Structure 1
Amino acid sequence: MREFDLGRLPALGVGLGYRREIDAAIMANHERIDCLEIITENFLDTPVGGPLEQLRDQFALVPHGIELSIGTEGPLDDGYLDGLALLVARVDAPWCSDHLSFTRAGGLSIGQLTPLMRTRELADDIAGKARRVQERVGTPFLLENITYHLDFPAELSEAEFITRVVERAGCGLLLDLTNVFVNATNHGYDAIEFVNSIPLERVVQMHLAGGYWSGGTLLDSHSAPVPAEVWELLDYVAGRTPALRCVILERDQDFPDDFDELTADLRRARACVGSVVCG
């Protein structure tokens, strides 16, 4: 089994999730942004010498996927893995990531990050697939915790499931603190207790975002400023993640008219995570 020393990965700093809607603002403010996270599927099979290379010339890039669907029954899509490996090589990415979920069933995309039945058997199957990703791509692979609106009795708690997967896979964690806060709020558990129950030593990257309330449910919409509770979580977790190398602010819609609102959040995150992440 190939396993990487996560603590020896390069420190990329604090950056943004790249979205085409704010491309001009990102480029105009490139000196205030340490790195970018790109959506894998948006750049698979794109022509060499185009926008991807322009981004690579300005920023450190890390691919973040949506459609690997590591929780779908059966083998991973070899064609997808080939494309991911090429993308990682094109941008010289130090790692890549995707979600601990499934997005495909019966060969069709279902258009959402769907939570998994938390069994030991499935955790072990996913761990094997994560090892396969690392072998094929040649870099560390990170899995991200997702939000879920319904939770059913299962063999393993969410924290136990995450722990079993990443420890048996020898892979890293992309810890989405907003997703932790959203799940803790909607399902009535303690966010600090949750993060203390997962292997924080495997956290390489973190996500921050904001959402909104709808019908008594908190939604992770990536459409609002980072809430105070998530900043508090970042303060708590930052000193407990020795392999942390990157923090990404996600914003997918309702972009602020003043881009300084986003760069102010980047500065705040840098102040939280300190020199280990920012070099």
Structure 2
Amino acid sequence: MDTDLPELGSGLGYRAQLDEAIAAHADRIDWLEVISEHFMFAPPERREKLRSLAERFPIVPHGIELSVGSPGPLDADYVDALATLVAEVDAPWFSDHLCFTRTDEVALSTLVPLPRTLQVARAVARKARQVQRAVGAPLLLENITDYLGMAAPLTEAQFICEVLEHCECGLLLDLANLDINARNHAFDPVEFLENIPLERVVQVHLAGGIEDGPLAIDSHSTPVPPGVWALLRELRARAPVRASLLERDQDFPDDFGTLLADINRARAVLTGQSHALPGREALDGSA
């Protein structure tokens, strides 16, 4: 993995609904993550919007349809368009999910967990190497939520280790997904951190979810919960992190300052100054 990647700081996922607020508070946001597919095959006016954003912020494309875990060859048209997008914004890296989203004939429209076997891990690593070479920039792979928890030869941590052992990709560690999986499947998230190569973590995602009966659900619709903040502090105590990203996809707060406060809070953790800020627990009384 490239060890000279920049430290981007604390960023926000770009969503069109937040465009005006982002522009008004650009000095409070270190960088933006954009959904790759929102711009890869977009009309000229949307690409112009992306170029305008890139003049003010570092931009990182984050994809959902690379489907690095699908069998068969890569989608050459998709990878070419992705390479063009990454070059257009001069992205320091790009990312997608450690999963599959389509077969040869069917687009699944969801992030499907992979069978956690040595064979699959090494196939994913081979494909990740191909993508990274074709795009010409570092690729980060992101851990996803797994609501089924099917038995497998490898744990999730072992599977991630096996993939990264056989490619030069970095890890986008989604701490919300880790927190949700740990709660749904009753494992220790700190032990998970102890069993993955933290030196490969480049970026983290922070988000809030919902409770749906016995399940915790990754909805990106609520404030970052205390457990995710605790994992960020735990991670930062063990290894440096180049970038954090606040994800919010729906139920946006009326007060954009709420998101800015969380961006600032994440920045404080990344820079080792979180002791100077009151935790949300102190602010709202949550546990």
TM-score (normalizing by structure 1)? 0.94
Q: CA RMSD in A?
A: 1.3
Partner SS for 2:220: coil
1:246 alignment partner, one of 243, 246, 255: 243
Q: Is the 8 A contact 1:202 1:241 kept in 2?
A: no
2:62 alignment partner, one of 61, 64, 76: 64
2:182 alignment partner, one of 181, 184, 187: 184
1:38 alignment partner, one of 31, 34, 38: 34
1:170-209 matches, within 5 Å, as 170-209=168-207
Matched residues in 1 for 2:91 and 2:270: separation? 21
Q: Is the 8 A contact 1:15 1:249 kept in 2?
A: yes
Which runs of no fewer than 5 residues in structure 1 stay unpaired? none
Tell me which residue corresponds to 1:263.
Answer: 260
2:23 alignment partner, one of 27, 30, 42: 27
One-letter amino acid of the counterpart of residue 243, structure 2? C
Matched residues in 2 for 1:211 and 1:154: separation? 26
Which runs of no fewer than 5 residues in structure 2 stay unpaired? 274-287
One-letter amino acid of the counterpart of residue 249, structure 2? D
Q: Is the 8 A contact 1:36 1:60 kept in 2?
A: yes
1:161 aligns with 2:163: no
Tell me which residue corresponds to 1:73.
Answer: 71
One-letter amino acid of the counterpart of residue 34, structure 2? I
TM-score (normalizing by structure 2)? 0.92
Matched residues in 1 for 2:77 and 2:198: separation? 32
1:88 aligns with 2:86: yes
Identity value in percent: 55
One-letter amino acid of the counterpart of residue 260, structure 1? G
Shift of 1:101: 0.5
- Runs of 4+ residues over 6 Å off in structure 1: none
Aligned length: 271
Relative contact order, higher structure (CA 8 A, sep 6+): 1
**1:28-85 alpha-carbon deviations (Å, 9 max, x no partner):** 1111000000000001033286111111111100000000011111111111110111
Matched residues in 2 for 1:94 and 1:107: separation? 33
Partner SS for 2:137: coil
Tell me which residue corresponds to 2:217.
Answer: 219
